[in-house]
Amino acid sequence: MTAAPLLDVQNLEKSYSIGRTGLFSKRSLKVLHDVSFSVAPGEVLGLVGESGSGKSTIGRAILRLIDSQSDVMRFGGQDLNSISTVQMRSLRKEMQIIFQDPYASLNPRKTIRAVLSEALDAHGLHKGAARGPRLIELVTLVGLDPSFLDRRPHEFSGGQRQRIGIARALAVEPSFIVCDEAVSALDVSIQAQILNLLADLRAKTGVSLLFISHDLSVVRYISDRVMVLYLGRVMEVGPADQVHFSPKHPYTAALVSAEPSLHRESRRIRLTGEIPSPLALPSGCIFRSRCPYAQPACAETVPPLQTAGDQHQSACLRTDIL
């Protein structure tokens, strides 16, 4: 992956204001701290972390569905931080999103034809006579029958709806798709079908994915690289198999070992304590309050991401443990 990155993000931060403390001052809750990463053309970057770690926030910030602050946010050579609204609208064709909940992500009042047409209309694609064939092409691409076009979402199963959501994202031929827990709500046998579909589409169209999931095995299978997030900070990032099979950060190690698996050999690493409230984060290493290896020094400095192998980085002060 030496090509110029398709997406480059440096020091992404996001705060939500939560209530007021005085008449004019607001209390704010910082949910992303200093997140930096890049995605190469055709690459799948996996994003894992527990709920509330900020995975979805990152995806929405990149798509500019929510406001955020960053030093650099470039997509395909364009600076997203200074882009005009008009330019952003045409750039939306390049960046799409697939959602977690196949039931909430489709407008219950629209037929599948209308759902897909909205995508094409938004960018004036395949107008007139070209529309029909394109719609058929799209539903066939995601493995559905063209006769489904004139039905409404409630007539479909979760897996079929998820395919429609994928077809909607693909309709405008994007070069980048955020998959936010795109397979999490599906049953295993359907989940495997959708994962294979995404892998095929990636191979066929060269689309890049930001693949968000809390399921580490799914992320390992589909991603080239994996980034691990804890309370809005990057803990570890590296090639998928390396992060999964030889994690360098105690948090990743704990996550992997907590995964239920059919054949467990290694002992589970027990984390003590609960995830701290985002309003009262520990000083120094954010993972300190649950880390089995924590030392007094961990309370002093925020560990920076350090090289821990080929393309592999980890944010832990102790390099002697894993």
Partner 1 sequence: MMSARNFPKRMLLPSVLLAALIIIPFSAPLITAEDPIKIAVRYRLAAPDLQHWLGRDEFGRDRLARVLHGGQVSLTVAFVATTIAFIIGTFFGLIGAYFRGPSEFITSRLSDIVLCFPPILLALLVVTLFGPGAGTLVAVLSVLYFPTFARITFSEALRVTSLDFVEASRALGTPSRRIVLGTILPNIAGPLSVQYSLTAAAAITIESGLSFLGLGVVPPAPSWGQMIRGARQFMNQDPLGIMIPCAALVLTIYAINFFCDRLRDTLDPKGASGSGMDEVSKPLALADAPAIRDPNVVAVINKLRLETTRFGTPAAVIEDVSLTLRANECTALVGESGSGKSLSSLALMGLLPGAIRQASGTLQLRRKTGEVVDLGFLDARTLENIRGNDIAMIFQEPMTSLNPIHKISDQMIEAIQAHRPMSKSDARAHAIQLLKRVGMNDAERRIDSYPDQMSGGMRQRVMIGMALTCEPRLLIADEPTTALDVTIQAEIIELLQTLRQDQGNGLSLLFITHNLGVVADIADRVAVMYSGQIVEEGPANQILRDPHHPYTRALIESMPSSHEGLHSTDGDRLPAISGTPPLPSARPSGCAFRDRCPIAMPTCAEIRPVLYPSADGERAVRCLRAPEAPAGLMKNHQTEAA
Ligand X SMILES: Nc1ncnc2c1ncn2[C@@H]1O[C@H](COP(=O)(O)OP(=O)(O)OP(=O)(O)O)[C@@H](O)[C@H]1O
Binding-site partner at residue 303 among ligand X, ligand SF4, Mg ion, none, CB < 5 to 8 Å by type? ligand SF4
Task: Build a one-symbol-per-residue string for 251-290: x at contacts with ligand X by CB under 6 A, - elsewhere.
Answer: ---------------------------x------------
**Of the candidates 254, 272, 247, which has an alpha carbon nearest to the alpha carbon of residue 322?**
247
Query: Which region, judged by CB under 6 A, interacts with ligand X, from 53-61, 76-84, 170-178, 296-304?
Result: 53-61
CB 230 within 8 A of CB 30: no
Query: Which region, judged by CB under 8 A, interacts with partner 1, from 19-27, 32-40, 164-172, 298-306?
Result: 164-172
**Edge-to-edge strand ranges of the sheet holding 306-309:** 95-98, 176-180, 208-212, 44-48, 225-230, 233-239, 312-314, 306-309
Task: Build a one-symbol-per-residue string for 29-68: x at contacts with partner 1 by CB under 8 A, - elsewhere.
Answer: ---------------x-----xx--------x--x-x---
Query: Which region, judged by CB under 8 A, interacts with partner 1, from 27-35, 73-81, 107-115, 130-138?
Result: 107-115
CB 61 within 8 A of CB 12: yes
Residue 144 sits at φ, ψ, to 5 deg, of -115, 165
> According to the binding rule CB under 6 A, does residue 288 interact with ligand SF4?
yes
Footprint on residues 229-258 left by ligand SF4 (CB under 6 A): 250
Comparing CB distances to partner 1, the nearer of 30 and 92 is 92
DSSP secondary structure code for residue 270 in this structure: P
Applying CB under 8 A, the site for partner 1 has a residue count of 77
Least distance in angstroms from the C-beta of 263 to ligand X = 26
Query: Which region, judged by CB under 6 A, interacts with ligand SF4, from 53-61, 78-86, 267-275, 284-292?
Result: 284-292
**Of the candidates 297, 286, 301, which has an alpha carbon nearest to the alpha carbon of residue 251?**
286
Footprint on residues 55-114 left by Mg ion (CB under 5 A): 56
Q: How many CB atoms lie within 10 A of CB 64?
A: 18
CB 164 within 8 A of CB 142: yes
Q: Rounded CA gap, 187 and 251, in Å? A: 27
> In sequence order, which residues have a C-beta less than 8 Å from that of residue 5 and are 6 or more positions away?
38, 39, 40, 41, 74
Query: Which region, judged by CB under 5 A, interacts with Mg ion, from 5-13, 38-46, 49-57, 83-91?
Result: 49-57
Binding-site partner at residue 288 among ligand SF4, ligand X, partner 1, none, CB < 5 to 8 Å by type? ligand SF4
CB 56 within 8 A of CB 63: no
52 Ramachandran zone, left/alpha/beta (phi>0; psi -120 to 50): left
Residues of this chain that interact with ligand X (CB under 6 A) are 16, 18, 29, 31, 49, 51-57, 214, 278
